Amino acid sequence: MKKLIIAAGTGFLGQVLVNHFKNKFEEIVILTRGKSQIIDGIKYVNWNVTTFSGWETELENATVLINLAGKSVDCRYTKKNKKEILLSRIESTKILNKAVLNCQNPPKHWLNSSTSTIYRFSLDKQMDEIDGEIGNDFSINVALSWEKAFFKTETPKTLKTALRTSIVLGKNGGAFIPLKTLAKIGFGGKQGKGNQFISWIHEEDFANAIDFIIQKEITGVINVVSPEPIPNSDFMIKLRKAVGFPFGIPMNTFLLEIGSFFIRTETELVLKSRNVIPKRLLENGFKFKFGNIDNAFENLLSK
């Protein structure tokens, strides 16, 4: 494959993809709010999600465009942060639509971030792309607006896929680092009632799934999650066992509310039941390397 563009690719997920694809593309370009430079053969180009400033020319003749842009939801949901969470996703998606349409030879395939949080809180039903039930709250409405901004502009020469991604567990970034730390210091008990499901995916399976979607030219919405969502209490038990700590103090909802206030985040991130399965990936023949949480933890904690 010739050229890969990753918008907002300097974070954890961007680096997971760079490491996976660095030997599969002739050229990788990262669109970043930082300065333009070349590091280890990767081209970093300054971009602005509200205006064209030359970065848009990089999309010419690209094989794949992946957009990861969006303010982290790991913050307090103040009015200001809510606005930034929404606009950072909508504006980046809208301007990329304009850039793609302006290209003489636009990217062949555009994969845009979305989230498995788009489905309702569910203890009773596994949500897939066909029968999954969409809910109604701030995070869900952000996801709906995000996907609408992505799909409503038709790009006749560019395939489009929305990646409804879950928590990505990685050795060097993402949610696994603080979770592992909590378990090691004795706070690895259930969070809230503990019956809420966690949808997760190992970083290698995440990158492999993106590669698979590109190779198979799968379009529309797709759940990028492991096939085994797991209750929070079981997740934490298995994590404690993996790190070798004998007990974990549970955190009830009241304590979580206090803790989330002091670390400037929201309890929704751990209390919502995300019971999501990757029906389309499995139906298309994707094989998970770490579909089981025990195997995933063993790998993530290995040297």
Tens of pLDDT, residue by residue over 64-106, are: 999 999 999 988 999 999 999 999 999 999 999 999 999 999 9
- In this prediction, residue 257 carries a pLDDT of 85
Is 59's pLDDT higher than 90?
A: yes
20-54: pLDDT as tens digits:
999 999 999 999 999 999 999 999 999 999 899 99
**How many alpha carbons fall within 13 Å on the CB side of residue 168?**
27
Q: pLDDT band for position 253 (50/70/90)? A: confident
258-283: pLDDT as tens digits:
777 766 778 887 889 999 999 999 99
C-alpha closest to that of 239 among 182, 196, 302, 165: 182
- In this prediction, residue 1 carries a pLDDT of 76
Q: What percent of the chain has pLDDT over 70?
A: 99
Q: What percent of the chain has pLDDT over 90?
A: 87
- In this prediction, residue 303 carries a pLDDT of 79
C-alpha closest to that of 210 among 176, 165, 153: 165
Q: pLDDT band for position 256 (50/70/90)? A: confident
Predicted TM-score of the model (pTM): 0.95
164-204: pLDDT as tens digits:
999 999 999 988 998 899 899 998 999 999 999 999 999 99
- In this prediction, residue 262 carries a pLDDT of 65
